[in-house]
Amino acid sequence: MAFEGLSEKLQSVFKKLTGRGKLNEKDIKEAMREVKLALLEADVNFLVVKSFIKTVSERCVGAEVLESLTPGQQVIKIVNEELTALMGGGQTKLNFAPKPPTIIMLVGLQGAGKTTMCGKLGAYLKKQYSRSPLLVGCDIYRPAAIRQLQVVGEKLGLPVFERGQSDPVETALLSLKEAERRACDLIIVDTAGRLHIDEEMMDELVRLKAALNPTEILLTVDAMTGQDAVNVAKTFDEKLDITGVILTKLDGDTRGGAALSVRSVTGKPIKFSGVGEKLTDIEPFHPDRMASRILGMGDVLSLIEKAQASFDEKQAAELAKKMVQNRFTLEDFLSQMQQMKNMGSMQDLLAMLPGGNKLANIEFDEKALSRTEAIILSMTKEERENPDIINGSRRKRIARGCGLQIQDVNRLLNQFEQTKKLMKQFSGFGKKGKKGFRLPF
């Protein structure tokens, strides 16, 4: 989980502060020293840390303590506000061209995840903004880069335009005609990864920019590169005047210093973050929500958005009716578990709840859902709709069919019965006259 180490250290500092009644200047100074060390260990740029600590310290020493808050809580509030400001203040959305097509160039170092991010970004904009993307392969140097883009495009149902090892600038210009032919209003260009000190390769990006006049030039930064991300961002910005940053592999870095450094050094906003290996694991970057996660306050808004994106409203309404009528089946049980799976891992979901990061070390059996799917899919339609008919011989057959033990089948059926009982208790509140509450079905 991103910022895991930083989050733990900061919360430890603030726990000491909130445990005291009044704070003096010495207390603030000691706390800020610990915060400074925590930020440096998280690989945040030294100059950024120095400026951040100076600003927070001045506000903490001079701030009037609100009547509704303890001094310790006031310090946390100030740190939260300054962390949010450090990462950009508020969400910065993508710009779309007033006249199609909108052209987005993804640039960055080798191995930053640009090719996969092209697909993720295209799929996201297609779903959220009803755009029609065309992916363009302009990485002619890395072996199989174009093939990788084609595979990503096939998996996401997005068209890909490429011309093999031809000149990238020519390919990019021809993609404009291809987009017009396909009626695509969005072009996402995958460029070759390069070192920021490679002048010849950087000049190719400058030529691409001049030829395409892109709406957005997004620097793709691997969150695990740490402080080097700052040097990369500065060089690319000086050469190309980037419009924003995408942080990849944010889920795999417990430090996350790049997210706190890049925005401050370049002045360019972080627009998206890659938060997993799935092609759907992309999120708009919200500085305020990220600051809340770091400080252990959770990110309930993102959790709600994930649920809205993953759960089908019609299915939810139908399920609610079934709960009231006590008609919940194993098919429904499987459907709900699959939609939960689409939201991400259980650990990631818990981290979005206030204080949920404290549960980060609890191990969840993420393979349990796969076993549940296998068991239910080994049943007949009649058995799924009416589990009461599943006797001993049927249980043996189901166990053989999914390659598991009879005990596994028994365990699932017991879980299902417990779930039904729980739902029946809730649906009882919907009956007329019970506790003055009635569900609208």
CA–CA separation, 97 vs 87, rounded Å? Answer: 26
Of the three residues 264, 296, 328, the one that is the final residue of a domain is: 296
Q: What is the pLDDT of residue 67?
A: 44
- Same-domain check for residues 352 and 282: no
Q: What is the pLDDT of residue 352?
A: 55
Percent pLDDT > 70 in the chain is: 76
Is residue 437 assigned to a domain?
no
- Same-domain check for residues 116 and 189: yes
- Examine the pLDDT at 224 and tell me if it is beyond 80: no
- Examine the pLDDT at 268 and tell me if it is beyond 70: yes
Which among 104-113, 179-188, 243-252 has the top mean pLDDT?
A: 179-188
CATH code: domain of residue 259: 3.40.50.300
- Same-domain check for residues 370 and 289: no
- Same-domain check for residues 339 and 248: no
Is residue 119 assigned to a domain?
yes
CA–CA separation, 362 vs 418, rounded Å? Answer: 23
Is residue 433 assigned to a domain?
no
Of the three residues 273, 296, 319, the one that is the final residue of a domain is: 296
Q: What is the pLDDT of residue 350?
A: 56
- Same-domain check for residues 124 and 243: yes
- Among 44-53, 288-297, 397-406, 422-431, the minimum mean pLDDT is found in 422-431
- Examine the pLDDT at 220 and tell me if it is beyond 80: yes
Of the three residues 31, 60, 86, the one that is the final residue of a domain is: 86
- Same-domain check for residues 281 and 238: yes
- Examine the pLDDT at 427 and tell me if it is beyond 90: no
- Same-domain check for residues 183 and 65: no
Q: Which two tokens stand for residue 413?
A: 């059926």
- Examine the pLDDT at 432 and tell me if it is beyond 50: no
First to last CA, the chain: 41
Q: Which two tokens stand for residue 355?
A: 């204080």
- What's the one-letter identity of residue 193? G
- The total domain count for the chain is 3
- Same-domain check for residues 136 and 273: yes
16-50: pLDDT as tens digits: 777 766 777 888 888 889 989 988 888 888 888 99
* Unique residue bearing structure tokens 């799976």: 341
pTM over cut 0.75: no
316-356: pLDDT as tens digits: 566 666 656 667 788 877 777 776 666 666 556 555 555 55
Q: What is the pLDDT of residue 324?
A: 60
Is residue 301 assigned to a domain?
no
Is residue 95 assigned to a domain?
no
- Same-domain check for residues 213 and 346: no
- Same-domain check for residues 356 and 405: yes
CATH code: domain of residue 411: 1.10.260.30
Q: Which residues pair with 161 in a beta bridge?
A: 136
- Among 104-113, 136-145, 322-331, the minimum mean pLDDT is found in 322-331
Q: What is the pLDDT of residue 395?
A: 93
- Examine the pLDDT at 83 and tell me if it is beyond 80: yes
Is residue 333 assigned to a domain?
yes
Is residue 230 assigned to a domain?
yes
Report which secondary-structure segment, H or E, holds 115: helix 114-129
Report which secondary-structure segment, H or E, holds 406: helix 406-428
pLDDT band at 211 (very low <50, low <70, confident <90, very high): very high
Number of Cβ within a 10 Å radius of residue 55: 15
CATH code: domain of residue 66: 1.20.120.140
Report which secondary-structure segment, H or E, holds 67: none
What's the chain's Rg over C-alpha atoms? 26
- Examine the pLDDT at 440 and tell me if it is beyond 50: no
Contact 12, 5 (CB under 8 A): no
Cα angle vertex 289, ends 286, 295, to 5°? 140
Mean pLDDT score across all residues of the chain: 80
The residue with greater pLDDT, 214 or 75, is 214
Is residue 237 assigned to a domain?
yes
- What's the one-letter identity of residue 187? I
Write out the residue range of the structural domain in which residue 233 sits: 102-296
pLDDT band at 289 (very low <50, low <70, confident <90, very high): confident
Q: What is the mean pLDDT of residues 282-293?
A: 85
- Same-domain check for residues 332 and 413: yes
Three-class DSSP category at 118: helix
pLDDT band at 280 (very low <50, low <70, confident <90, very high): confident
Q: What is the mean pLDDT of residues 66-74?
A: 63
- Examine the pLDDT at 430 and tell me if it is beyond 60: no
- Same-domain check for residues 264 and 347: no
CA–CA separation, 363 vs 85, rounded Å? Answer: 34
* Unique residue bearing structure tokens 């009231």: 324
Distances (CA, A) of 331 to 328, 341, 375, 402, 416: 8, 15, 11, 16, 11
Q: What is the pLDDT of residue 424?
A: 65
- What's the one-letter identity of residue 371? R
